[in-house]
Amino acid sequence: MVNPNTAARPEDTVLPECHIRETGVLPEHLTAFRRQGVLALRGLLDPVELEAVQEAAGSLIDDAWRTRSMTDTIWTQEPDHPDAAPVRIEYVVDKSPVIARLAGHPLLLRVMEALVGPNLIPTWDSMVFKTTAGAPRLSWHRDGEMYADAVGVTGAGRVIDVGVYLDPAPEDNCVWCIPQSNYWDDDRITATAERLNASEWDTTGAIPAVMRPGDVLLHNILTLHGAPAVQGKQRRVVYFEYRPAEVEWQLGPHVPEYVGRKQQVLRSCVEQRAAAHEHRDEEPFDYCPAEPFRHWVGRPDLTTLRFPHEENWRW
Amino acid sequence: MVNPNTAARPEDTVLPECHIRETGVLPEHLTAFRRQGVLALRGLLDPVELEAVQEAAGSLIDDAWRTRSMTDTIWTQEPDHPDAAPVRIEYVVDKSPVIARLAGHPLLLRVMEALVGPNLIPTWDSMVFKTTAGAPRLSWHRDGEMYADAVGVTGAGRVIDVGVYLDPAPEDNCVWCIPQSNYWDDDRITATAERLNASEWDTTGAIPAVMRPGDVLLHNILTLHGAPAVQGKQRRVVYFEYRPAEVEWQLGPHVPEYVGRKQQVLRSCVEQRAAAHEHRDEEPFDYCPAEPFRHWVGRPDLTTLRFPHEENWRW
């Protein structure tokens, strides 16, 4: 007999989604994200912005191929190897004004404010991509668990990874995730990841996060997720991560001064977007953290949007 | 010159409020609560329910006067002293079916779910009241700070005290609070509370939470608040506190088993309300925590709604 209290509810086995340009974000979307550990924002980018970001992303990838640089760039092998392919570029907000303006997107930032809280700060920004050279399986993992009592601190989802999709991600080339695993304890995470990773591609208990270009996928960093190996398909995703300043300030992982630096970065992105002709009809995001967390005040003007993690670790 | 980055914004000096029966709860209400540490839900109780709760509250207070019992009841002095007055009664959900049904209020619980998260559990339930015998000043304080790194864990407001007002609370007889103090560090809280408490009633930096009967005041337990001494006025408030089960489970203050017990209490309150003729037109609250936090499953049926804190402390 199925116990109605423990049986999966139908809504537990589909990806929760918000058609943000039609409904805006509603409390039920926020709760669905907090419960399931994942949420799709459908059609966040309009076609014009999508095309601009695709072009900017393409240029960054072309630069990587051309220069074979390892600066801020991760390759599948040493870049001078003939089979080497670039798969990730860090600090893309600093490298592309178009991506800096994307990071100031008001609809996205309002969702982040509602989930992360008013003191949200941007932490990681990068682009992860699969070129037609192919990419190996992304094994099942949590993104990070650097906090003691991580489920208590952020099981409900205050540290959020945002993937902005520039290419289609169909079932055979998308992230899969296990809903509600954001609340699992360490033992259950470890055991499940080991079991699923023991074969080439096992999706037991998982759901696919099928995405179209211009869609955005939010996932709690504690949600267990992975992706199958793929060949011959391009898939580019710009990732932004956000954390609450009060968590970063007390618990790290970056030094306290990182809060003010990244608040300056966020404010710069919002200002760059507000000043851009193509976004003139938008109401800019109003970044308004509580008074104890306005750490940009009194800081010298920015000369870069790139604050390397390894120069800002607390430990 | 006023620095626009640090100057108080106009919205920082008024109590944020949500006219919940007109607009429902919106993301901007949630963010206002997270930023300011306080939020008024105007007119949550309809007149019929308000009258029923007022009557139930009156009966409990009459019982206290009549029996002079100290069980679950706090008095200003030893109860046999002629000037003694009762000021607080604990575990009111267990003592009154009307208050148990109030604890199942769907609009209230939906706001709590949106703020505390899907795994919300009820912790404290009590009634605090000022009889016409008068009440002393409530000195400036935080309700609790039992977590290490309390601001990181719950500065944004996941541990919430809910006051359901049964009588008017005008400026000279209401709670005052300091917006955004939920994000202050310990030193600033201590210094400010000491300075304000040095004179009989100092409201520097504070705003009044003026309430009408049927209104509900939410405050973050970390928000600094106090209230002036009052004479000759009755003011009864039913308090419910909520916490995320994942926080209680990992960080306390109660034992892990407390989570399942209080989930049973919440489910009972929702069921009692759903079964009551006077609430037949309401859609009941759908309590749906994530699968790892459905701890009521397999527990014996409840024989009480009273789970004393001192029998459930972890430390």
> Is the CB of B35 less than 8 angstroms away from the CB of A114?
no
Residue B7's pLDDT band (cuts 50, 70, 90): low
A251 touches chain B (CB under 8 A): yes
Surface-to-core class of residue B300, CB atoms within 10 Å of its CB (0-12 exposed, 13-18 middle, 19+ buried):
exposed
For the stretch B159-215, pLDDT in tens is 999 999 999 999 999 999 999 999 999 999 999 999 999 999 999 999 999 999 999
For the stretch B62-118, pLDDT in tens is 999 999 999 999 999 999 999 899 999 999 999 999 999 999 999 999 999 999 999
Partner residue opposite A246 with nearest CB, options B183, B246, B297? B183
From A251, which residue of chain B is nearest by alpha-carbon distance?
B152
pLDDT at B48 > cutoff 90: yes
Identity of residue B94: D
Domain extents in chain A: 30-116+127-244
Spatial separation of the C-alpha atoms in residues B98 and B80, rounded to whole Å: 30
Task: Tell me, rounded to whole angstroms, the distance of Cα B265 from its chain centroid.
Answer: 17
Q: Coil, strand, or helix at residue B126? A: strand
Alpha helices in chain B (DSSP H): 20-23, 27-36, 47-67, 92-95, 97-102, 106-116, 150-154, 186-197, 245-251, 257-275
> Is the CB of A35 less than 8 angstroms away from the CB of B152?
no
B263 touches chain A (CB under 8 A): no
- Mutation for testing the A interface, residue in B119, B153, B223, B295 having most A CBs under 10 Å: B153
ipTM for the assembly? 0.94
Q: A147 vs B15, which has greater pLDDT? A: B15
Say what the pLDDT of residue B14 is.
87
Say whether domain A30-116+127-244 belongs to CATH 2.60.120.620: yes
Give percent of chain B with pLDDT exceeding 70: 96
Partner residue opposite A118 with nearest CB, options B26, B34, B292? B34
Write out chain A's pLDDT in tens, 315 residues: 344 455 566 667 889 999 999 999 999 999 999 999 999 999 999 999 999 999 999 999 999 999 999 999 999 999 999 989 999 999 999 999 999 999 999 999 999 999 999 999 999 999 999 888 778 889 999 997 678 899 999 999 999 999 999 999 999 999 999 999 999 999 999 999 999 999 999 999 999 999 999 999 999 999 999 999 988 788 999 999 999 999 999 999 999 999 999 999 999 999 999 999 999 999 999 999 999 999 999 999 999 999 999 999 997
A246 touches chain B (CB under 8 A): yes
pLDDT at B251 > cutoff 50: yes
pLDDT at B4 > cutoff 60: no
Say what the pLDDT of residue B1 is.
38
Partner residue opposite A34 with nearest CB, options B8, B117, B297? B117
Tracing tokens 């699969």 back to the chain, one arrives at A130
Q: Coil, strand, or helix at residue B237? A: strand
For the stretch B236-249, pLDDT in tens is 999 999 999 999 99
Say what the pLDDT of residue A156 is.
96
Computed over every residue of chain B, the mean pLDDT equals 94
**Residue B209 contacts residue B38 (beta carbons within 8 Å):** yes
- Please, how many CA atoms are within 13 Å of residue A257, restricted to the half-sphere of its CB? 10
Say what the pLDDT of residue A9 is.
67
Contact list, A247 vs chain B (CB under 8 Å): 152
A312 torsion bin: left (phi>0), alpha (psi -120 to 50), beta (else):
alpha
> Is the CB of B152 less than 8 angstroms away from the CB of A153?
yes
Say what the pLDDT of residue A135 is.
80
Say what the pLDDT of residue A6 is.
52
**Residue A271 contacts residue A104 (beta carbons within 8 Å):** yes
Residue B9's pLDDT band (cuts 50, 70, 90): low
In the stretch 12-41 of chain A, residues with CB closer than 8 A to chain B read 12, 24-27, 30-31, 34-36
β B86-90/B73-75 pair status: antiparallel
CATH topology of domain B18-311: Jelly Rolls (2.60.120)
